[in-house]
A and B are shown apart, each in its own frame.
Chain A
């Protein structure tokens, strides 16, 4: 099973990304442009929405 992401809004009103790793670990990722996990999430989004040839 590949890494899976889910966008959430927490009780503080912040958007976050939950990342579900293959080993069952759940990471809470802040939507901080300097966070490399968030950068990887954005890259995954971009790759998935890119048109295929």
Chain B
């Protein structure tokens, strides 16, 4: 089915039904913050920690802010969930520091923007945001190849009040955007960015990347400050249209997220009569084909006739893993079982 044939109707904060929106117009996966396979509360201690699905925390010092998936439909009317950042200290942001929330968009979902060419199309980033702070906040669109950036600012005039933001960005006519099944566009919201990683808002700069705009509010510099966001949408064109999930449906959105990260829903089991020293194999198919061969961790294991712990070997492809385990005793009714997490994140 072509993208044009897929439609969905959504309700917006302004109230009332809106015209059907084409599924796939939104290039942000999990823009409504509905999917969080890793849990619902995070205090990132290392850089590049994934939080809600597809949303990654970048940081230069541990435990300066927390991230939560909050379910509360009264905060942003029309959205059940939002991503909540809370500053955990009054952190000084030095010139080379950065604290951001990002989403890396795969090239496969961006190729029609024609960025990096003279035919580059404009895009519009829109989102709902609320903060305990007021002022001018910042972020940046930059290339995964780190050679093009567009800092942007947005204003939150009233504390603790939802604000709809819409920012139109001209197409990038240079930069490295085509990295096959790798990253393309990075959407970056600044929570505190040092001067080495900021630039003037509202213009493309090529040959470098930024993580924020000059003069923006540093959320992490106020202990207890909050910053909430949901309804994030990045679409082709020069105007903001009503929010739609990237896939049009919740189930479709989950499947999009599982291209990058998947938690197995049940045990994979090998069972049979086993002989000590012989290796036995089983396979587990992923629910969704992965972006690339994923990293795998085994999260739960059971065994009889095999040593405890993870299978002794495995091999992963985009669609499945093959696991081998060497029996350590000879027994009828031997088995080993496991659950897993597979990560093919950008």
Q: Quick one: closest A residue to B45, CB to CB?
A: A22
Interface string of A21-35 (1 = CB under 8 A from B): 010011111101011
A19 to B291, CA, bound (A): 20
Contact between A25 and B297 (Cβ–Cβ < 8 Å)?
A: yes
Tell me the complex Cα distance, A48–B291, Å: 29
Comparing B14-22, B187-195, B306-314, the segment that makes contact with chain A is B306-314
Docked CA distance A10–B324 (Å): 9
Q: Are B295 and A11 in contact (CB under 8 A)?
A: no
Contact check, B310 vs A27: say whether CB atoms are below 8 A apart: no
* A34, B182: Cβ atoms closer than 8 Å: yes
Query: Is residue A49 within 8 Å, beta carbon to beta carbon, of the partner chain?
Result: no
Contacts of B312 in A (CB 8 A): 11
Neighbouring A residues of B117 by C-beta, 8 Å: none
Q: How many residues of B contact A (CB 8 A)?
A: 27
Q: Contact at A10–B182, with CB atoms within 8 Å? A: no
Does A14 sit at the interface, judged by CB under 8 A? yes
Whether B297 and A35, one on each chain, are in contact in the complex, defined by CB atoms closer than 8 angstroms, is no
A10 touches B313 (CB 8 A): yes
* Given known A11-B279, A11-B324, A12-B322, contact A35–B313 (CB-CB < 8 A): no
What distance in Å separates the Cβ of A35 from its nearest Cβ neighbour in chain B? Answer: 6
Residues 182 to 232 of chain B near chain A (Cβ within 8 Å):
182
Contact of B315 among A10, A26, A29, A35 (CB under 8 A): A10
Beyond contacts A11-B312, A19-B295, A32-B293: 8 other A-B pairs, Cβ-Cβ < 8 A, are A10-B324, A12-B322, A26-B297, A30-B315, A34-B292, A35-B295, A37-B295, A40-B48
The 5 sampled A-B contact pairs (Cβ below 8 Å) are A12-B313, A12-B322, A22-B45, A27-B296, A32-B293
Which residues of A are in contact with B by a Cβ distance under 8 Å?
3, 10-12, 14, 19, 22, 25-30, 32, 34-38, 40
